[in-house]
């Protein structure tokens, strides 16, 4: 019974609690049982307090029994990447340096989830300071992929990817600076949303790169994802980077399908380094969308996109180094070697190069948007360039020769961060190694609603999000 409850989607468990078919205590206990059984196998848990979680669930049940509901997520247990601050609770950020850090403020994302009735029952492991695409962590546990524990989860939202796919929790928030939601969503067979830059407040969440950081949900289904983003998106007067544009109700129109929707397919750039097996799965997903009524539009990506991967990486290391300068000088031995190397490199970036990378963004975005979205509604592209690698083969400490492939992993993701556009990652099958693969739908700024509509139509005609790893 417990595993059956843990296997429900977020929307299903929210509806079941609301209709009092199951209790919040039952749902929370189901997650806690999964955490006790699989947490040591997957290494995805930073901290869980069962007693506090069950007490919060009992309170949610009592409120519902008294006719009081806080919102659409009332009593639903969630857990998040260990970078979302909650006042008085440790937020370790996947690091030794902040292993005992207790913030004095609660993040805007958690505040909005709290207000909607969600329970926050665990902290989830992550790449050290969110700087890494594979999921490796040299100073804290490296989470494992529930489809095969010898393989990477993707990073840096590695714990959320592992925990949600492994049915330890119904949904989680991660962060995406260069692909850190989309990589683990791809590797673990999940739906991941990197919203438009500024769509979700970043207040009181660990910063890596203030020009690129975005916060978004990782879930098992498109509807679950839309529900979490709808709950958390919107202007925050205490976050100057959050947009004042109104937020769509992403659940309205999600069932409308893709008939008449125009999908841009790139002739150049995005597929250039992509492995043939991956490309075949990604292109096959287009058949599903066209069979559902979408129209494909061939587009040529402007040459200016070729510099955006490198410029995104430069911005990340430079802004990250500015935040970490004191620790890099005073506590260098407490960093993992790769994190220290990447952070330190940002200390030596010429100001002219950094400012040029920022200054070019509006012009490159305008050129890209004109080429892609003038005659299309969304862009369809790969997420990863290779099948999911093993933890061992992608460990640079043991296999430094893999560095070029890791560097190239951002080919399809970092440009989207640089441009600040929204991107929804959707599972599209499995490669020969038995691991999931996915594609991205990229939209116009603040048009997450169209991405959810297209993603839901794709999901409805496929089986990928209904599959679960056997653990």
Q: Which residues are catalytic?
A: 81, 156, 180
Which of 442, 437, 464 has its CA nearest to residue 276? 437
Neighbours of 356 (CB within 10 A): 12
Residues 6+ apart with CB under 8 A from 224: 9, 10, 11, 170, 171, 191, 217
CA distance 26 to 24: 5
Q: Which residues pair with 119 in a beta bridge?
A: 77
Copy the structure tokens of residue 216: 């978004």
Q: Which residues contact 74 (CB under 8 A, 6 or more apart)?
A: 14, 17, 18, 24, 60, 63, 64, 116, 117, 118
Helix (H) / strand (E) containing 321 = helix 308-330
Q: By three-state DSSP, how is residue 47 classified?
A: strand
Q: Are 196 and 420 in contact (CB under 8 A)?
A: yes
DSSP, collapsed to helix, strand or coil, labels residue 264 as strand
Q: HEC states along 432-455? A: CCCCEEEEEEEECCCCHHHHHHHH
Query: If residue 278 lies in a helix (H) or strand (E), which one and from where to where?
Result: helix 276-291
How many H-runs (helices) and E-runs (strands) does the chain carry?
Answer: 16, 11
Cα separation, 225 vs 216, whole angstroms: 9
Task: Give the span between the Cα atoms of 198 and 216, in whole angstroms.
Answer: 11
- Which secondary structure element, helix H or strand E, spans residue 425, and what is its range? strand 423-430
Q: Do residues 149 and 41 touch, judged by C-beta distance below 8 A?
A: yes
Q: 20 to each of 55, 63, 70, how far by Cα in Å?
A: 18, 12, 15
What is the rounded distance in angstroms from the CA atom of residue 9 to the CA atom of residue 188? 16
Taking alpha carbons only, the member of 106, 76, 77, 75 closest to residue 89 is 106
Contact residues for 260 (Cβ-Cβ < 8 A; gap 6+) = 293, 294, 295
Sheet strand arrangement including 172-176: 172-176, 214-219, 191-194, 423-430, 436-443, 378-382, 262-266, 295-299
Q: 3-class SS at 378? A: strand
């Amino acid at each position: 019974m417990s595993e059956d409850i843990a296997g429900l989607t977020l929307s299903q468990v929210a509806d079941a609690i609301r209709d009092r078919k199951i209790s919040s205590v039952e749902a929370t206990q189901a997650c806690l049982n999964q955490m006790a059984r699989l947490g040591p196998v997957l290494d995805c848990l930073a901290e869980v307090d069962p007693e506090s979680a069950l007490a919060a669930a009992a309170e949610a049940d009592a409120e519902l029994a008294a006719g009081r509901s806080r919102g659409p997520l009332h009593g639903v247990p969630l857990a998040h990447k260990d970078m979302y601050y909650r006042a008085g609770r440790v937020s370790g950020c996947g690091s030794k340096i902040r292993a005992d850090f207790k913030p004095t403020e609660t993040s805007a994302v958690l505040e909005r989830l709290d207000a909607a009735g969600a329970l926050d029952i665990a902290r989830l492991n992550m790449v050290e300071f969110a700087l890494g695409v594979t999921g490796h962590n040299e100073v804290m546990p490296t989470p494992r992929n529930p489809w095969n524990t010898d393989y990477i989860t993707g990073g840096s939202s590695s714990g959320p990817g592992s925990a949600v796919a492994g049915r330890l929790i119904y949904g989680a928030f991660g962060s995406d600076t260069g692909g850190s939601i989309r990589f683990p969503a791809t590797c673990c067979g999940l739906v991941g949303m990197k919203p438009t830059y500024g769509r979700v407040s970043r207040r009181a969440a660990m910063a890596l790169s203030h020009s690129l950081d975005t916060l978004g949900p990782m879930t098992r289904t498109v509807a679950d994802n839309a529900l979490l983003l709808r709950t958390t998106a919107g202007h925050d007067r205490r976050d100057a980077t959050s947009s004042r544009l109104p937020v769509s109700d992403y659940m309205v129109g999600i069932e409308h399908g893709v008939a008449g929707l125009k999908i841009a397919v790139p002739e150049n750039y995005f597929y250039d380094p992509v492995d043939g097996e991956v490309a075949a799965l990604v292109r096959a997903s287009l058949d599903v969308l066209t069979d559902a009524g979408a129209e494909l539009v061939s587009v040529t990506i402007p040459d200016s996109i070729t510099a955006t991967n490198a410029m995104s990486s430069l911005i990340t290391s430079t802004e990250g180094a500015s935040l970490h300068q004191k620790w890099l000088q005073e506590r260098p031995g407490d960093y993992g070697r790769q994190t220290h190397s990447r952070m330190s490199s940002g200390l030596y970036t010429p100001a002219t190069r950094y400012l040029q990378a920022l200054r070019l963004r509006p012009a490159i975005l305008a050129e890209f948007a004109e080429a892609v979205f003038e005659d299309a509604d969304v862009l369809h592209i790969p997420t990863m360039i290779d099948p999911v690698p093993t933890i061992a083969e992608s460990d640079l400490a043991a296999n430094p020769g893999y560095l070029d492939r890791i560097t190239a992993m951002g080919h399809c993701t970092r440009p989207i961060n640089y441009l600040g556009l929204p991107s929804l990652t959707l599972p599209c099958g499995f490669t020969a190694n038995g691991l999931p693969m996915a594609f991205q739908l990229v939209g116009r700024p603040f048009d997450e609603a169209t991405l959810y509509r297209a993603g839901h139509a794709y999901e409805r005609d496929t089986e990928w999000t209904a599959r679960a790893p056997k653990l």
